[in-house]
Copies of this chain bind each other. A is one copy, B any other.
């Protein structure tokens, strides 16, 4: 994780480890929670009993039993609150309401625009103004509102949910503020009529709902604070999001699994289905109650004939749609990324747009709405229709082309938008596809809450309709020659196209299920499946999915998928990709080693080994833990304690000893006087003359002190320079450290002063703190030589381990299964390397995309030697065994060794 630092640091994500720290925290939490529950349970049961007794005495009539019953029911209900299904029902209900209200508001917004446009039909200019101003205002408001309230609400949400479900905590991503910003922002954005979708944001909204509901429900029971449960609920919420957006429970579950998970627990399956079904049910029931529909039916119901949906000989045409959609989908992803990167790269534009944050959305909206202005260019591309209307007309089960060329076809309702007096319907469709294609790619880069699924779906439907109309024009009486005439149904082609293109853009197969649920007909299952699979095959070999593309653009931590049939993956081994110089600390290291290790590396966790010779991995410790250990050791409170102790000791031994260290001390004082001169701080507490005493009494483990002063990290100021180096390591100090490490550890002291003194700024001149800088330095030196006490340190006792011969394929599986961030490579307990997400990413992309960092060729590991690995292991074992024998011998560990490796 050390590599792409700056962006990731900004995210401040934490890896939720499968074991260790995380588990421990949970354990501690669970204990507290259990204690609390038991207490409250006792209290409650006592109070309940007294209440029921009260009731009994208060009213001995026939009503008493009823009341007791009610109380019991209430208790029962509260105890049931912890059940999953109640949570899921509530989530489904909430999301159905949100979805319906959002849809309702969007419909009103769109109607308002139509009304304005329609009312001003006397003056084209006014009409244009109204047509253009309305979306610009809405989009600008949406962008501004989300920008101010919660910038996290911008965009789709699926990439972020994918990251969160991988175990990464994205800060501020699941808060109430974000919820409000997302819902209102989305409503305005979609109400503007731009080619934007609602499914991505709905995944995010559902997750927000789940997180907030979880928080709310935790008032009743502790179970809602369990991390793994929350992840399960978030996975269900994603399904609900898609499910209630399209009223497609099955497709929603599958789609959400495909876009957010790499490994899916089948035991969570029912959660998604349950919640999504309930949500879709309520969503559709609301429509029935609102008298929009007579009963529960599909959202975009089609009425294709059932008895002969398509001819077998039409299948090549469906396959062509699939392949073309694959290319189209890849192009869309590429175009979208290109626009984002272009905007980012053009610094001049960028600076301007960043200053006026709302200018970019406004400009894009202006451009798009100008082009769709119905009396203008919009007349050639059915600009009058909203997204929903376009889709309904495209899925129409009548054929346009046959009569479209002749003028006599009765375009009912919205279908007439596709008719143009001068152009035939093919040109209109082509124009629609081309214009909508780049418009959608552009519109989805606007910083408002928006998805790209629906626009792509509509484009796909248009493309399918185009092919279908062509086929219908080519075979006016259908292809089948056996008696009955079955004309071609272009609407079926539209369904196929919609599924294929949206599948290609999102790299999912479940769009097939979504179209069946959306249209309420499954008759075209085979053409749809064939087209979707072909589209996926083409798109996946060309580009990442739209969501993965956004993940890369946003620099979220990710693990690329292993592609189709890249079977060389089975032959790369961990030993080919692992980093061999691992940062580690030993169990018996001193604080100085800790300090050095922390200074020179940036890894979030460090390996704890038994000793530098044995290298037996004992666990891993987080960087923060080590930093706090170090700050405890060198911190002011401890020094003050030392001063107090020293003062006490002084009193005792005042008359006993002459001062043997004074001469040496004054020598060193004169040597270090330039440090005091070069210091910038004027507020520094004056160095009071303190009698220089031997430091021994203050040291708790005097036997450990062997090398008192000749160590690289020299004297520190009185609030711990060593610590500051760690916490605010600037590039130049790093450079210094590197220089130091190149030399022998005994002599770099003269290089240090400027830095040391420069950093020692923060000091408030405590009255008790009467040590001179030199004394403090000496004290710190001695502190650093003490052995580290890991007592109060949280250690992950079982970090994930791999062996050298684990294949890349298996490593990938394990990393994505367990959501790992890094894993240590061991050989019979010995730590020999580490693999992090970064290396894995490199290895996979290096051989998938040729541009990336190339790893060793697939068969590299076979060239090394023909001997089996058991021999190596035997050697390792012998080493271990030899070590055992020589354990009593003096150790010859040179601490600089590991430092040198890291250069």
Q: Using a CB–CB distance below 8 Å, which chain A residues touch chain B?
A: 18-20, 23-24, 26-28, 30-31, 34-35, 38, 82-85, 223, 226, 228-229, 249-250, 254, 257-258, 261-267, 269-270, 273-274, 277, 280-281, 284-285, 288, 294-298, 301, 303, 306-312, 480, 482, 509, 512-513, 516-517, 520-523, 525-526, 529-530, 533, 536-537, 561-562, 564-565, 567, 570-571, 573, 587-588, 608, 610-611, 616-619, 790-795, 797-798, 801-803, 805-807, 809-810, 813-814, 817-818, 826-829, 859, 862, 866, 868-871, 873-874, 877-878, 880-881, 884, 887-888
Can you report 27 A-B residue pairs in the complex whose CB atoms are below 8 A from each other?
A: A26-B807, A27-B805, A28-B869, A30-B570, A82-B567, A84-B565, A223-B570, A249-B525, A250-B512, A250-B513, A250-B529, A264-B264, A270-B564, A280-B526, A294-B482, A520-B523, A521-B521, A522-B522, A588-B881, A611-B884, A616-B616, A791-B871, A791-B878, A795-B828, A797-B826, A887-B888, A888-B888
Asked, given contacts A277-B526, A312-B296, A610-B880, whether A258 binds B269 with beta carbons under 8 Å apart, the answer is yes
Asked, given contacts A28-B869, A85-B565, A570-B229, whether A862 binds B35 with beta carbons under 8 Å apart, the answer is yes
Asked, given contacts A226-B570, A258-B269, A887-B887, whether A877 binds B587 with beta carbons under 8 Å apart, the answer is yes
Asked, given contacts A258-B266, A797-B873, A859-B34, whether A274 binds B533 with beta carbons under 8 Å apart, the answer is yes
Q: Are B829 and A616 in contact (CB under 8 A)?
A: yes
Q: Are B866 and A31 in contact (CB under 8 A)?
A: yes
| Residues of chain B contacted by A809 (CB below 8 angstroms) | 228
Which of B269, B310, B610, B873 is the one whose CB lies under 8 Å from A795?
B873
| Residues of chain B contacted by A38 (CB below 8 angstroms) | 859
Asked, given contacts A266-B258, A797-B873, A810-B228, whether A829 binds B564 with beta carbons under 8 Å apart, the answer is no
| Residues of chain B contacted by A30 (CB below 8 angstroms) | 570-571, 862
For A276, give the chain B residue with the smallest CB separation: B529
Q: Are A270 and B522 in contact (CB under 8 A)?
A: no
Q: Are B24 and A869 in contact (CB under 8 A)?
A: yes
Q: Are B618 and A24 in contact (CB under 8 A)?
A: no
| Residues of chain B contacted by A301 (CB below 8 angstroms) | 306
Q: Give the oligomeric copy count.
A: 2
| Residues of chain B contacted by A806 (CB below 8 angstroms) | 19, 23
**Apart from the given pairs A270-B509, A517-B525, 17 other A-B contacts in the complex at a CB distance below 8 Å:** A18-B810, A23-B805, A23-B810, A24-B868, A30-B570, A31-B866, A85-B537, A223-B570, A262-B266, A277-B526, A298-B523, A520-B525, A610-B880, A791-B878, A793-B870, A795-B870, A795-B877
Asked, given contacts A526-B280, A611-B884, whether A797 binds B266 with beta carbons under 8 Å apart, the answer is no
User: 4 tightest A-B contacts by CB?
Assistant: A888-B888, A791-B874, A84-B565, A618-B829
Q: How far does the alpha carbon of A611 sit from the alpha carbon of B31 in the complex, in Å?
A: 34
Asked, given contacts A30-B571, A258-B269, A880-B587, whether A309 binds B288 with beta carbons under 8 Å apart, the answer is no
For A262, give the chain B residue with the smallest CB separation: B266
Which of B261, B307, B859 is the one whose CB lies under 8 Å from A266?
B261
| Residues of chain B contacted by A480 (CB below 8 angstroms) | 294-295
Q: Are A588 and B859 in contact (CB under 8 A)?
A: no
For A518, give the chain B residue with the smallest CB separation: B522
For A871, give the chain B residue with the smallest CB separation: B791
For A809, give the chain B residue with the smallest CB separation: B228
Q: Are B297 and A312 in contact (CB under 8 A)?
A: no
Q: How far does the alpha carbon of A813 sit from the alpha carbon of B264 in the complex, in Å?
A: 11
Q: How far does the alpha carbon of A828 sit from the alpha carbon of B20 in the complex, in Å?
A: 10
| Residues of chain B contacted by A266 (CB below 8 angstroms) | 257-258, 261-264
Q: How far does the alpha carbon of A526 sit from the alpha carbon of B517 in the complex, in Å?
A: 10
Which of B295, B610, B792, B803 is the one whose CB lies under 8 Å from A23?
B803
Q: Are B295 and A567 in contact (CB under 8 A)?
A: no
CB distance from A873 to the nearest CB of B (A): 6
Q: How far does the alpha carbon of A530 sit from the alpha carbon of B277 in the complex, in Å?
A: 7
Which of B18, B249, B482, B829 is the one whose CB lies under 8 Å from A619?
B829
Q: Are B797 and A803 in contact (CB under 8 A)?
A: yes
Q: Are A564 and B84 in contact (CB under 8 A)?
A: yes
Asked, given contacts A27-B573, A793-B870, whether A588 binds B35 with beta carbons under 8 Å apart, the answer is no
For A508, give the chain B residue with the smallest CB separation: B269
Which of B265, B295, B873, B877 is the one whose CB lies under 8 Å from A309?
B295
For A611, give the chain B residue with the smallest CB separation: B884
Which of B261, B509, B798, B818 is the one whose CB lies under 8 Å from A817?
B818
Q: How far does the alpha carbon of A873 sit from the alpha carbon of B270 in the complex, in Å?
A: 39
